[in-house]
């Protein structure tokens, strides 16, 4: 199929850019040094490509992602890098045909994991992100509690999410400070695993045993401005449905096709005036002129994760050829 025959709005994955990103990261963080984070793409078909590139352990943000990966036969080593207290999803993960490790950061999450039959945990440590994670000083106590309850404590994790967009000149120092908290906890907890990091700190975070990165595979404009060696591989493919003599054009995808927390998307040759539910209004830049009704335009999302979560499939394209279709099968909770 030709890309112009796809329905719109659709998400496109540029096969060559994706392959470049996978290869670039696999060179920097080969094999088990990378634990790809499926939350960024929510697709077992995409995850299978990363598995083929040598990364057999994966990271997830929701029980649904863990269960979907297990059902797809990708359950070699799944980490739920998030806290869960509800017994239902914990029991389902414990029963999955997979090696499942969950993050814990409190008595309540340790006890819930143990009660549900979870076998392995990581102690999640607060490294400055104002999100989950126990204080460094509490990590050893939690690990002891977990071990008393029969849980295997594999080590620690800590996500320096607040440093993903940190300016380059201070990033390494601030990552070192954050990881000092994690390593301090690790000294008390023990275990083989020190898990953390993300696409934005994949070079600077040399303190961990495994990197939790997902955005690098498809990328977005937020990470695109960070000077990373990854290429934009994800595009929203739209049809121009209205052109005004006033000088703007409107394409048929908007707030329900794009994560908007990082702001408007971008579009080559246009300034994005604004997005509404099912539209993006485009102003031509320079001498580009207006498109015609029926023309297709490619829009670059500002934030990959909540963009993909709106879509049912990713269409993989090479030039104008649609070469594959990957279901976004890990959506929801």
The reply on whether position 88 binds a copy of itself by CB under 8 A is yes
Please, what is the minimum distance in Å from the beta carbon of residue 331 to a copy of itself?
8
Please, what is the minimum distance in Å from the beta carbon of residue 255 to a copy of itself?
4
Supply 71's token pair.
Answer: 């059902």
Q: Residues 97, 192, 261, 287: which binds a copy of itself (CB under 8 A)?
A: 261
The reply on whether position 38 binds a copy of itself by CB under 8 A is no
In Å, how far are 27, 53, 202 from 21, measured between CA atoms? Answer: 10, 11, 13
Q: Residues 2, 170, 206, 276: which binds a copy of itself (CB under 8 A)?
A: 276
Cα(302)–Cα(148) distance, rounded to whole angstroms?
45
- Indicate the residue among 155 and 254 with the shorter CB distance to a copy of itself: 254
Q: Residues 39, 145, 171, 298: which binds a copy of itself (CB under 8 A)?
A: 39
Q: Which residues contact 169 (CB under 8 A, 6 or more apart)?
A: none
Site map 67..86 versus a copy of itself, x via CB under 8 A:
---------------xxxxx
- Helical ranges in the chain per DSSP H: 15-28, 44-52, 63-71, 87-95, 107-116, 136-148, 168-189, 221-224, 304-308
Q: What are phi and psi of 194, to 5 degrees?
A: -125, 105
Please, what is the minimum distance in Å from the beta carbon of residue 184 to a copy of itself?
16
Supply 253's token pair.
Answer: 């995808």
* Choices 5-13, 144-152, 179-187, 198-206; region in contact with a copy of itself by CB under 8 A: 5-13
Contact 196, 212 (CB under 8 A): yes
Query: Residue 261's Cα: distance from chain center in Å?
Result: 15
Cα(305)–Cα(218) distance, rounded to whole angstroms?
9
The reply on whether position 170 binds a copy of itself by CB under 8 A is no
Residues at the site binding a copy of itself, with contacts judged by CB under 8 A: 7-9, 39, 61-62, 82-86, 88-89, 105-106, 108-109, 126, 130-133, 135, 161, 239, 241-246, 248, 250, 252, 255-256, 259-261, 273-279, 281, 292-294, 303, 305-306, 309-312, 332-333
């Amino acid at each position: 199929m030709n890309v112009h025959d796809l329905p719109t709005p659709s998400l496109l994955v540029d096969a060559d850019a994706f392959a470049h990103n996978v290869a670039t990261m696999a060179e920097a963080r080969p094999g088990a040094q990378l634990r790809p984070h499926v939350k960024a793409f929510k697709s077992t078909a995409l995850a299978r490509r990363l598995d083929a590139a040598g990364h057999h352990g994966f990271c997830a943000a929701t029980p649904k992602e863990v269960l979907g990966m297990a059902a797809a036969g990708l359950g070699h080593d799944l980490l739920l890098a998030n806290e869960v207290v509800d017994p239902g999803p914990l029991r389902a993960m414990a029963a999955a045909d997979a090696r499942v490790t969950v993050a814990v950061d409190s008595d309540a999450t340790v006890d819930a994991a143990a009660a549900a039959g979870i076998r392995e945990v990581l102690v999640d440590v607060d490294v400055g992100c104002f999100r989950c994670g126990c204080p460094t000083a509490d990590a050893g106590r939690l690990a002891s509690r977990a071990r008393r309850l029969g849980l295997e404590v594999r080590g620690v994790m800590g996500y320096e999410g607040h440093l993903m967009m940190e300016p380059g000149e201070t990033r390494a120092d601030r990552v070192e400070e954050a990881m000092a908290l994690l390593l301090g906890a690790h000294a008390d907890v023990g275990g083989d695993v020190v898990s953390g990091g993300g696409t934005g700190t994949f070079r600077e975070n040399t303190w961990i045993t495994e990197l939790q990165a997902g955005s690098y595979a498809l990328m977005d404009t937020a990470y695109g401005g960070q000077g990373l060696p990854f290429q934009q591989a994800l595009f929203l493919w739209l049809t121009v449905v209205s052109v005004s003599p006033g000088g703007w054009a409107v394409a048929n995808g908007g707030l329900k096709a794009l994560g908007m927390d990082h702001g408007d998307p971008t579009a080559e040759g246009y300034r994005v005036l604004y997005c509404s539910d099912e539209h993006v209004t485009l102003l031509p830049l320079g001498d580009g002129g207006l498109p015609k009704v029926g023309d297709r335009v490619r829009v670059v999302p500002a934030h990959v994760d909540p963009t993909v979560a709106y879509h049912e499939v990713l269409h993989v394209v090479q030039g104008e050829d649609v070469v594959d279709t990957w279901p976004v099968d890990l959506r929801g909770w």
